[in-house]
Amino acid sequence: MCYHTYMIVGIDEVGRGAWAGPLVVGAVLLGGEQIDGLTDSKKLTKKQRELLDLEIRKKALGIGLGWVSAKQIDRIGLTKALMLASKRAIAHIRHEYAEIIIDGTFAFLDDPRVTVMKKADLLIPSVSAASIVAKVARDKYMSYIDTVFPGYKFTGHVGYGTAAHRKAIDELGVCALHRLSYAPLAQYKIAEDTARPLKNMKVWTTKQVGDAAEAKVANYLKRQGHVLLERNWRTKFCEIDIVSSYNGTVYFTEVKHRKTNAQGGGLAAITPQKQKQMAFAAELYRTSRRLTGSDLLLAAASTTGVPPRIVEYLELR
C-alpha cells in the first residue's frame, strides 16, 4: 500500500518514560508534501531535528501538539494521559484526512480511521514528522524549565532518568515538574502524603529533619560552586545555619523547614526582625574571622517534606 498517496495524519509521542516534564503528542498532516530526511526523531541530531521542524511547519497542511502536565499524569495515569494528549493534538488538524496512523501498539484515539503500527516513525513520513515536531517542542520547553528550576540540568536529560538527573534529585529533592506516580520517585509522594501514615516508615525526630534539611541546602550550595566555611556557627548571642563563600562574597544562609507545603512556606519566618538578627550575626562572624575584604550577603532556604527537599532559595538583598 502506498501510504504517501493518502491524506494521512501521523501521530507520535515524546516524554512517555520521562521522570519529569510534560507528555507531548504530535500530529502532522503532510498532505503529499515531500520532505527529505524524515525519520524517527531519536535517530537525528538536535540540529537536524530543528531544521526539519522548520521545514515541516512550513510545508505541512496541519500540525497539532497535545500537552499533558506531570501533575495531570499523576492524577489520571499514563494511559489516559496518552489518550488525552492525542485528542488535544488531533483537534488542531483542520483539514480533512482519510487515515490516522499512530506509532506503537495501542490506539489512543477512538476513531475508525486509526491504524496502529510498530515503528511507524521510521516508515511513514507523517508519523516521522509528528515525532520530530513533538520532540523539538518538548526539548525547547525543558530548556526553558532549566532556568525556572536550576540545578536539575533539564536541558541535558530533558527529564529522563539519567544518572545526572538521579543525582540532582538526591541533592535537591523533587520539583513541581516531577512525576511522583512513577516508581523511582514514589518515595517522595509517600513522604508528602501525611493523610495516610505507612507501617514501617522511618520516624524522624525534629532534630534529624532539621539536620537533613541543612545538609540538603549545604549540598545544593556546593553544587552551585560555594565553598562551605561553617555549619551551625553559634555564639551566646546568635547562630548561623550555613556560612559559605562564592566569588568573593560570604553567604549567610538561614534554613527554614516545614513538614508539608500546607503549613505555608518556610520563608515566611524570615521577618524583618529575623533579617536584623541575621545581619548582626553576619557582622559578628566577619569580625571574629577578620574578613576585612569580603562582601556579605544574607540568604534563606525553604525546605519541606520528609526526607526534606528544597522549595526555594532566596538571596536577601
One pLDDT digit (tens) per residue for the chain, 317 residues: 444 446 999 999 999 999 999 999 999 999 888 899 999 898 999 999 999 999 999 999 999 999 999 999 999 999 999 999 999 999 999 999 999 999 999 999 999 999 999 999 999 999 999 999 999 999 999 999 888 888 899 999 999 999 999 998 888 888 889 999 998 888 777 555 543 443 444 456 677 788 888 999 999 999 999 999 999 898 878 889 999 999 889 999 999 887 655 444 556 667 888 888 899 999 999 888 888 777 899 999 988 877 788 888 888 86
State the helix-helix crossing angle for 206-223 and 163-172, rounded to 10 degrees. Answer: 130
Give the model's pLDDT for residue 197: 41
Structural class in CATH, domain 3-148: alpha beta
Give the model's pLDDT for residue 136: 96
**pLDDT tens digits for 168-180?**
888 888 888 999 9
**pLDDT tens digits for 182-219?**
988 887 775 555 434 434 444 566 777 888 889 999 99
Domain ranges (residues) in the chain: 3-148, 206-316
C-alpha cell belonging to residue 141: 520547553
Instruction: Return d(Cα 67, Cα 69) in angstroms, integer.
Output: 7
Q: How far is CA 299 from CA 217, 237, 248, in A?
A: 11, 19, 15
Give the model's pLDDT for residue 201: 40
Among 40, 57, 65, CA closest to 127:
40
Whether residue 112 is preceded by a cis peptide bond, meaning omega within 30 degrees of 0, is no
Give the model's pLDDT for residue 196: 42
Any idea how long the chain is?
317
**pLDDT tens digits for 2-25?**
444 469 999 999 999 999 999 999
Using CA of residue 290, residue 294, residue 298, residue 304, what is the dihedral sign? negative
Q: Strands 62-68, 23-29: parallel, antiparallel or unpaired by DSSP?
A: antiparallel
Give the model's pLDDT for residue 97: 94
Among 178, 205, 196, 203, CA closest to 309:
178
Give the model's pLDDT for residue 199: 41
What's at 231, amino acid-wise? R
- The answer to whether 174 and 180 have CB atoms below 8 angstroms apart is yes
Give the model's pLDDT for residue 198: 37
Structural class in CATH, domain 206-316: alpha beta
Angle at the Cα of 152 (from 149 to 155), degrees rounded to 5? Answer: 90
What's at 27, amino acid-wise? A
Among 104, 299, 280, CA closest to 221:
299
C-alpha cell belonging to residue 185: 520517585
Give the model's pLDDT for residue 19: 97
**Strand order across the beta sheet in which 249-258 lies:** 227-234, 239-246, 249-258, 295-304, 309-316
Instruction: Return d(Cα 123, Cα 162) in angstroms, integer.
Output: 29
- The answer to whether 24 and 131 have CB atoms below 8 angstroms apart is no
